[in-house]
Amino acid sequence: MKKLLVLMACLLAWGTLFAQKLSKISGKIVDEKTQPVAFAVVSLRNIQDTVTVKKTATNIDGEFILDQLKPGDYSLSVSMVGFKTRQVAKLSVTGDQKLADIAIESIVKQLNEVSVQAKKPFIEHQIDKTVLNVENSITATGGTALEVLEKAPGVQIDRQSDQIKLNNKSGVLVMIDGKTNFLSGADVTTLLSNMSSDQIATIELITNPSSKYDAAGNAGIINIKLKRNKAFGTNGVATFQFGQAFMPNTPGDINRTAVNISLNHRQGKWNIFGNGAFMNKANFNNIVVDRTTASSGLASSLNQNFNRLNRGNGFQGKLGADYYASEKTVFGVMLDANTINTRLTNVSRTNINELRNGNASSSAILQDALSTSPVGNLTANFNIKHDFDKKGKNITFDADYSGFSNKKDENFLANYLNGSGSATNNTALRNNTDAQIDVYAAKTDLTLPLNKKMKIETGLKSSYVITHNNFISEQFIAGVWQNDIGKSNNFVYKENINAAYVNLAKEWEKWQIQVGLRAEHTHSNGNSITDNKEVDRNYLSLFPTVFLNQKINKDHNIRYSYSRRVDRPNYQQLNPFVFYMDPLALDQGNPYLKPQFTDNYEINYSYKQASLSISYSDTRDMITQISQQDDVTRIISVIRQNLGRAQNYWVGIAIPVKIAKWWNIQNNGSVFYSKFEDGNLEGAAYQASKVAFNIYTSNSITLPKNFSVEVSFWLNSPRVNGVEQTTITQCAVNTGIQKTMMDKKLKFKLSMDDIFLTNRWEGKLVYQNLNMTVANRYTSRRANFSISYGFGNQNVKSARSRNTAGDDLKNRAGS
């Protein structure tokens, strides 16, 4: 009987619960632009006792579900960092129901409505770097990354070599989002001239990098940080560029074409990104060389005229993904591949006038040269970042592999003429170069905040590089190609670098200090297998850094800094091969080339956005290009050597001027004194020095109907660099106009470089038995047209920025 009563009671209770059916409510949280808000917290409270009965978070699409709800009256609230909390006063739950979208308001919008705005200055000075806040700057709007960079204090574009200089020092490491672009100087300049300034958030000028960075790089680092946003979805940018040179006495089809598309997709815990690009470019330059030789009973004067046409096309692709495993941990992978194939035709004529034992005669050499150079690179990166807390304590790990394939096939046909123009002889040569480079690297970095004003950074890095270089030189003799044993060679280079660093930073109300020390142990081995010559080096180097920042008040700031840096030879400079350029010119590497070490000192005073900087650098064993001349054979050999000492004293000033709300002018100028000396260069002492200056000014004008115009002018005075002396003043006027449409998603730009055709280079090399002048006219005047369109959700967060472990090593793979 008792069992029956218990069973009846259970059935009655179950029936009561069934009769009281539970309900659920669902909905979606959006922002002011009706975009879904992920991970917002939705809370449901009982109106009678205000007790929270349910709490959940929205999913990736901003959707939420609150289930197992008893009938009744509730209040609902939505909270999210960066948004104002939204309250729904009363919800009557009587059954399942789907709510209309609930919009929450961002704090940014609220601040705008009450006109509370904070805007960073265009130029901001921090303890270890100068930051250009490009984002939202009127001065930077509508330009290119290169145009913005030229406005930066201390930055100079060397138009002879298209190298970017910082405080009159070459060897600048250019990074985008913390990742190095492993391109030649001219290609980096082209890349930045095609990058819209609207993509950039900030540009960091790090003249004295801290111990956290690799010790490589005499001139410092320029890091371009792209804009990044916080929403989900897909976006992309498609860009087309075309440029045409307008130069006298050059081929008519010297043009450049580039097509690029970038995509970024963020969904849930995944962020997938990629881009693809095709480029086709052509350059032409005319080089005139005059030099003299003198030996026993023979004096000669040589005039050489080279017409060089270089055409190339290439492809580049990148694919990567970040996986956000949790709020604190993220994993990333990235694959980057690029290839470029260039074809260089070089037609030259060398006129030789000689006086032998009082008898004058003349002759000439005509040469047709053709070279093709397919180059490929594949890079893979794996990355982990873990945040221990929200106070900045984190650890990162990177592992990298990069493979390079550099090949070159060259053919030379030379015809020798006597004074009357009749052929007396001809030669045919061909060279084949095959270089394979493999780079392996791994690093880890740990950041430990001790308190709000003090932190420690430390890390380890290890890298291994192996290069295989095979060079075959052949001559066409008696109808057969025969190996030139004296020039053909096989060279293997191996290098292992292990590094550790520690940084300590402390901040007070008026002062900031940061000190660091980096230790790098290097073991390298260069082995010329054919010649049975081996160069083995094993050394430990220390690189201290000190930064001191004094905040006098909100407008006045002084920064003091010191760092020690190293520049190691790139892998091809160490290659001992002898490369044939023409019958009277050879180029060869130097396996005995040593790294150069530089001590950098700098003081920077800033008043608002204007600044005055003074720096001094002292470089020992400077890596430079030296020309050796044999007066008997009249052959000149271009080699790489270490120059004893190079000193650079530099003073720079930057003054921005705002004429009107729509008219801004940026003025930069510097004066520098360069001094070079060596106790035994080519058998005798060498010393050269010179005071030089450069000027840059740009006018940015905003016009109605989304038009903008920029006119800039730069000037570089004659100067000296190692054994090379620039003998003329270089200058140019550039201008451009831009039109934006469709809420700035569609942009058209037309520009012209070097309008008055004043950008050319002339110089001389005069030391020991060498007396040579060089004039170089290149495709400096060029009209450029570009169109770009941004599509999709432009608020999608872009890929994470990170420094990969092999950045500095890959930069040395170029020739």
pLDDT tens for residues 762-807?
999 999 999 999 999 988 898 989 898 887 654 444 444 445 545 4
Q: Is the dihedral of CA 72, 77, 78, 80 positive or negative?
A: negative
Q: What is the band of 196 on the pLDDT scale with cuts at 50, 70, 90?
A: low
Q: Is the confidence at residue 15, as pLDDT, over 50?
A: no
The alpha carbon of 88 is separated from its chain's Cα centroid by a whole number of angstroms, namely 50
> Mean pLDDT over residues 249-269, rounded?
85
Tokens of 304: 């050489």
**pLDDT for position 21:** 63
Containing H/E element for 130? strand 129-133
Q: Is the confidence at residue 3, as pLDDT, over 60?
A: no
Q: Is the confidence at residue 211, as pLDDT, over 70?
A: yes
**pLDDT for position 165:** 78
Least confident residue range of 107-111, 365-369, 723-727, 739-743: 107-111
Give the type of residue at 775.
A
**pLDDT for position 133:** 77
Round the average pLDDT of the chain to a whole number and report it: 84
**pLDDT for position 5:** 42
> Mean pLDDT over residues 599-614, rounded?
91
Least confident residue range of 63-77, 193-207, 252-266, 278-292: 193-207
**pLDDT for position 70:** 84
Among the listed residues 677, 485, 600, 759, the one whose alpha carbon sits nearest the alpha carbon of residue 220: 600
Q: Is the confidence at residue 698, as pLDDT, over 90?
A: no
**pLDDT for position 233:** 67
Domains of the chain: 23-109 (2.60.40.1120), 123-790+798-810 (2.40.170.20)
Q: Is the confidence at residue 815, as pLDDT, over 70?
A: no
Q: At a CB cut-off of 8 Å and minimum separation 6, what does 15 contact? A: none
Q: At a CB cut-off of 8 Å and minimum separation 6, what does 803 contact? A: 175, 178, 179, 398
Positions of E strands within 630-723: 636-660, 663-681, 684-703, 707-716, 719-721
Pairing of strands 221-226, 233-245: unpaired
**pLDDT for position 51:** 78
Comparing 35 with 233, the larger pLDDT belongs to: 35
Containing H/E element for 750? strand 746-753
> Mean pLDDT over residues 203-211, rounded?
81
Residue 655: C-alpha distances to residues 147, 375, 725 (Å): 16, 43, 30
> Mean pLDDT over residues 37-65, rounded?
82
> Mean pLDDT over residues 556-575, rounded?
88
Comparing 562 with 111, the larger pLDDT belongs to: 562
> Mean pLDDT over residues 402-409, rounded?
91
**pLDDT for position 122:** 64
Q: Is the confidence at residue 808, as pLDDT, over 70?
A: no
> Mean pLDDT over residues 154-165, rounded?
68
Q: Above pLDDT 90, what percent of the chain?
A: 43
Which residue stretches of 151-298 are H helix?
Answer: 185-193
Q: What is the band of 390 on the pLDDT scale with cuts at 50, 70, 90?
A: confident
Q: Are 38 and 30 in contact (CB under 8 A)?
A: no
Least confident residue range of 153-162, 309-318, 710-719: 153-162
How far, in Å, CA of 642 to CA of 130, rounded? 32
Q: What is the band of 351 on the pLDDT scale with cuts at 50, 70, 90?
A: very high
Q: What is the band of 198 on the pLDDT scale with cuts at 50, 70, 90?
A: low
Q: What is the band of 117 on the pLDDT scale with cuts at 50, 70, 90?
A: very low
Q: Are 735 and 770 in contact (CB under 8 A)?
A: no
Q: How many residues does the chain have?
A: 815
How far, in Å, CA of 793 to CA of 769, rounded? 65
Comparing 78 with 137, the larger pLDDT belongs to: 78
Least confident residue range of 167-181, 351-365, 550-564: 167-181
> Mean pLDDT over residues 643-671, rounded?
92
Positions of E strands within 31-71: 41-46, 52-57, 63-69
**pLDDT for position 720:** 95
> Mean pLDDT over residues 457-471, rounded?
93
Least confident residue range of 107-116, 143-152, 482-491, 594-603: 107-116
